Amino acid sequence: MTEAFDDDPYEGALSLSQRAMSARGTPYLDGLNTEQRAAVEALDGPVLMLAGAGTGKTRALTCRIAHLLNTGRARPNEILAVTFTNKAAREMKERVGALLGTGGEGMPWLGTFHSVCVKLLRRHAELVGLKSNFSILDTDDQIRLLKQLILAADIDEKRWPARQLAGLIDGWKNRALTPEKVKGRETAAFNNRGSELYDSYQARLKTLNAVDFGDLLLHMVTIFQTHPDVLEQYQRWFKYILVDEYQDTNVAQYLWLRLLAQGHRNICCVGDDDQSIYGWRGAEVGNILRFEKDFPGATVIRLEQNYRSSEHILATASGLISQNTGRLGKELWTQAQGGDKVRLIGHWDGEEEARWIGEEAEAIQRGTRGNDPVSLNDQAILVRASHQMRAFEDRFLSIGLPYRVIGGPRFYERLEIRDAMAYFRLAISPADDLAFERVINTPKRGLGDKAQSRIQIAARENGLSLLDGARLLLQEGALSGKAAGQLRLFVENIIRWHDEILSASAASATTAAGDDDELIEPDAAGVAPANDLSHVRLAEAILEESGYSEMWLNDKTPEAPGRLENLKELVKALEQFENLQGFLEHVSLIMDNDKQENDDKISIMTLHGAKGLEFPVVFLPGWEDGLFPSQRSMDESGQKGLEEERRLAYVGITRAEQLCTISFAGNRRVYGQWQSQMPSRFIDELPARHVDVLTPPGLYGGGLGGGFGSDHAASPAMADRAARADVYNSPGWRRLQQSAARGGTTYSSPKPRGKPVVIDAEEAAAFTIGDRVFHKKFGYGEVMGSEGGKLVVEFDKAGEKHLLASFVVPADSADDVPF
DNA sequence: GTTGGTCTGACGGTG
DNA sequence: TCAGACCAAC
């Protein structure tokens, strides 16, 4: 695990490249600052580029690639450059292309970790018992498969849901732990059978000739570790390695990189420990903190000049992040001066917050806030969790404010698209059992649970795929008339489609022969526009002949037309690909959905999704304890979790160039129930000097402030003083902050005691606020009030619950009740 | 086997 | 709020 990087046989390469450098100009170096330039020119040996938010990291990185190519140190296909997102990969490709005046193609190994690994794994699949045409399961498939395994293991799926198992297994894979390595590390989860389930999951994947996302990395690490010859080949091949967002790498990615970097030792990692926000999916900030130990003699370059944000915004972000411990430490600075302070405003509830932000965005767009007009495209709302988006969508729809949701439910995750894709998958590989299961009874073919389980049994007993199992049953005449007829049709269709694909690919194989030029491959399977569109026709035919399109035509629900529309779009998207196979690959890895739109719209996205982006105007709503920082994060990871949330806040603030507005609401609907919220503890950590508080008096005190938010902008200084006095110094604020600091359980504002709670006619006044009650599952608690006919009880152990009064009894009578 | 109604528990994000 | 699970009726 700790192989030393002690010997570097490529030191002599220097003179060669220097010769090359003098041959061509280096215009791309112009305009870089000293540090950026150092980062671009330190080509050899390990380099760690600590690049704070907005310091021109991508610029430095792309210039570095250009420089590598321009100085002749490496050919485009000898550079391995990995990113986390498709967006980042695309951007880098484009920018390198622009710098060099080439198309931006021609860097086959610039991509996401996953896409690079797929490419590698297709070449070496047999080393881990797969065929090179393995399919990539998405989360949905994964869950369905795990569900079956849990069922088969006779474990209560209620108690141990498949989602949780998926999380467990992902966690292991992120840490590069194979089932063998997990054995003996058993936890109580899944009745101590977690590793057993993991093992059978992997076995099942192998028989399905499939991998999940985690496997892409894990398998490659396994191959590199067990086949030194393969590893050496790539160590030699990749002369330079570049890694974006290094702080987000997990253990598997880290090992993968280290193994590959052992050859030339030319690895350049770019990252910012303050922007590490993916701990929950296994990212190890430790990787970046440890870089200099891992790669002795590494050059460390800090990019600290910020070109993005105004002075106050930067200072606010810095003040906040300085509360974190264990940082590598960077001092961001800017030449920019003046500008608006970060604004802070509290609202009565989430809807009010959405309303205010909508109005504010429009005012800023028109320039009626005393500012220059800012288009909606240049404004963004960044939320902690995607469910917060809804309030904004509702509001914006009703006032007709154009918006776009970025990273919302993705096109390819829609039901109808997944169904259609399952048909395509079956056509390509009829043995794809997961796809078979998905659509065997969609549209309804009268093949319900009973028929399906018979097919399952027939398949398992004979070691066949479900399709072949079904054929067997048909041959034996084991099914009754109607079901048999439908099944026969289904099976015959699949085989016919499959045959068409086979003959189509046989035809194209004769025309398109060509060997791999060493490790150079045509980029991703068939993204090039195809002139032969037979696969598009086939796709249409599949949707027709399966009866799938018809199913939605006959569907009277309001969403049916939209679904048909989506299916059309799907078929259209196919035109860009050479064949169905290439399309499926694209979908499983790319799956992104951001269309180029030219309309002026405000963006709504999650904080995670906003990383790497910047906007002149940014709104950061929902800064409430429990929501942000998220309760779950703190429960799961304690102090570490809180610091990660703080980094997320830092990422949010640093997205803003000119104007950043933080807001919180006193009340919010959670799971459709109203809940009182407390301002986020992060608000208290903002350096007051750089913050304008727009909150009017009385949000938490007496009368609830309606009517604020309109006039304070006219006299910001006054509003500032008045508001600060109220918000920062009011007893209410202090009390809230103190109870937050105690980590108190109370998310409810104080309620008057002794007032009867009317639940319904029968139960009227059965309970009073402040009553102690007992519930058979949640234990003892205190009645806080009522809502929507339900009792609100704060349980000592289980927290606040909303439940029917009939489920609790007065605490003192608990012993009398035979539960 | 299908449909439809009620009940329950989840909502952190990504490839 | 809302999807999925569950159960009763057709």
Contact assessment for residue A84 and residue A112, using Cβ atoms and an 8 Å cutoff? yes
Contact assessment for residue A675 and residue A666, using Cβ atoms and an 8 Å cutoff? no
Closest CA to A174 of A56, A300, A43, A281: A281
Query: pTM of the predicted model, to two decimals?
Result: 0.79
Q: What values do phi and psi take at A178, rounded to 5? A: -80, 165
CA of A217 to C1' of C4 (A): 32
CA of A446 to C1' of C8 (A): 20
CA distances from A524 to A115, A532, A587 (A): 8, 18, 12
A655 tagged catalytic: yes
Residues at the strand C interface (Cβ < 7 Å): A 147, 158, 669, 671-673
CA of A55 to C1' of C3 (A): 43
Give the position of tokens 């980590």: A743
Residues at the strand B interface (Cβ < 7 Å): A 84-87, 112, 114-115, 139, 163, 170, 213-214, 277, 280-281, 384-387, 407, 441, 444-451, 483, 589, 591-592, 606, 608-609, 630, 632-633, 636, 641, 644-645, 671-672
Sign for the pseudo-dihedral over CA of A420, A421, A426, A427: positive
Q: What is residue A812's predicted lDDT score, i.e. its pLDDT?
A: 60
Residue A503: left if φ>0, alpha if ψ -120 to 50, beta else—which one? Answer: alpha
Amino acid A1 reads M
- Has A52 been labeled as part of a binding site? yes
Contact assessment for residue A164 and residue A215, using Cβ atoms and an 8 Å cutoff? no
Specify the nucleotide whose C1' lies closest to residue A479 (CA): B1
Give the mean pLDDT of chain A: 81
Contact assessment for residue A676 and residue A748, using Cβ atoms and an 8 Å cutoff? yes
The DSSP letter of residue A193 is T
**Strand B nucleotides within a 7 Å radius of protein CB atoms:** 1-3, 9-15
Q: What is residue A807's predicted lDDT score, i.e. its pLDDT?
A: 66
| Residue A499 neighbours by CB distance under 10 Å | 12
CA of A62 to C1' of B12 (A): 31
Three-state secondary structure call for residue A399: helix
- Has A56 been labeled as part of a binding site? yes
Return the structure tokens found at A315.
Answer: 């200072």
Contact assessment for residue A659 and residue A343, using Cβ atoms and an 8 Å cutoff? yes
Three-state secondary structure call for residue A267: strand
CA distances from A586 to A526, A533, A535 (A): 9, 17, 15
Instruction: Sort strands A691-693 and A756-757 into parallel, antiparallel or unpaired.
Output: unpaired
| Residue A79 neighbours by CB distance under 10 Å | 23
From CA A433, how far away is CA A426, in angstroms rounded?
A: 8
From CA A8, how far away is CA A265, in angstroms rounded?
A: 7
Judge residue A34's burial from the number of C-beta atoms within 10 Å of its C-beta, 0-12 exposed, 13-18 middle, 19 or more buried: exposed
Specify the nucleotide whose C1' lies closest to residue A114 (CA): B15
- Has A55 been labeled as part of a binding site? yes
Active-site entry in A343, A563, A655, A801 = A655
Q: What is residue A758's predicted lDDT score, i.e. its pLDDT?
A: 35
Return the structure tokens found at A372.
Answer: 């220059």
CA of A442 to C1' of B2 (A): 13
The partner residues of A135 in beta bridges, in order of sequence, read: A210
Query: pLDDT below 50 — which residues of chain A?
Result: 1-23, 512-530, 697-765, 814-819
Active-site entry in A245, A273, A353, A523 = A245
From CA A525, how far away is CA A537, in angstroms rounded?
A: 20
A207 tagged catalytic: no
CA of A800 to C1' of B12 (A): 21
**Percentage, residues of chain A above pLDDT 90:** 45
Return the structure tokens found at A21.
Answer: 């450098």
Return the structure tokens found at A47.
Answer: 């380099």
A57 tagged catalytic: yes
Q: What is residue A699's predicted lDDT score, i.e. its pLDDT?
A: 44
In A691-760 the beta strands, taken as DSSP E runs, fall at 691-693, 756-757
**Strand C nucleotides within a 7 Å radius of protein CB atoms:** 1-2, 5-6
CA distances from A349 to A40, A386, A613, A815 (A): 49, 17, 28, 41
From CA A197, how far away is CA A195, in angstroms rounded?
A: 5
A244 tagged catalytic: yes
CA of A413 to C1' of B14 (A): 14
Contact assessment for residue A82 and residue A111, using Cβ atoms and an 8 Å cutoff? yes
CA of A558 to C1' of B1 (A): 25
Report the protein residue whose CA lies nearest the C1' of nucleotide C4: A158
Closest CA to A732 of A749, A716, A715, A748: A749
Contact assessment for residue A205 and residue A137, using Cβ atoms and an 8 Å cutoff? yes
Helices H, strands E: what count in chain A?
32, 23
Contact assessment for residue A49 and residue A59, using Cβ atoms and an 8 Å cutoff? no
From CA A794, how far away is CA A778, in angstroms rounded?
A: 10
Q: What is residue A100's predicted lDDT score, i.e. its pLDDT?
A: 80
Return the structure tokens found at A494.
Answer: 């699949």
Contact assessment for residue A663 and residue A621, using Cβ atoms and an 8 Å cutoff? yes
Distance between terminal CA atoms of chain A? 56
- Has A207 been labeled as part of a binding site? no
Specify the nucleotide whose C1' lies closest to residue A415 (CA): C3
From CA A696, how far away is CA A712, in angstroms rounded?
A: 9
Report the protein residue whose CA lies nearest the C1' of nucleotide C1: A672
CA of A409 to C1' of B12 (A): 15
Return the structure tokens found at A519.
Answer: 């490790």
CA of A437 to C1' of B10 (A): 26
- Has A20 been labeled as part of a binding site? no
Active-site entry in A275, A316, A388, A661 = A275
Specify the nucleotide whose C1' lies closest to residue A390 (CA): C1
Specify the nucleotide whose C1' lies closest to residue A634 (CA): B12
Q: What is residue A233's predicted lDDT score, i.e. its pLDDT?
A: 95
From CA A525, how far away is CA A578, in angstroms rounded?
A: 8
Task: For chain A, give the number of residues.
Answer: 819
Active-site entry in A212, A244, A578, A726 = A244
Rg of chain A over Cα atoms, rounded to whole angstroms, equals: 30
- Has A57 been labeled as part of a binding site? yes
Contact assessment for residue A196 and residue A153, using Cβ atoms and an 8 Å cutoff? yes
Report the protein residue whose CA lies nearest the C1' of nucleotide B2: A446
Specify the nucleotide whose C1' lies closest to residue A388 (CA): B11
From CA A366, how far away is CA A147, in angstroms rounded?
A: 53
Closest CA to A189 of A157, A214, A165: A165
Give the position of tokens 């194979």: A178
CA of A99 to C1' of B13 (A): 33
Contact assessment for residue A628 and residue A682, using Cβ atoms and an 8 Å cutoff? yes
Active-site entry in A57, A471, A563, A681 = A57
Domains within chain A, CATH numbers bracketed: 5-125+216-305 (3.40.50.300), 137-208 (1.10.10.160), 347-402+598-741 (3.40.50.300), 413-590 (1.10.486.10), 764-816 (2.30.30.140)
Contacts of A794 (CB under 8 A, 6+ apart): A745, A746, A748, A781, A782, A784, A800
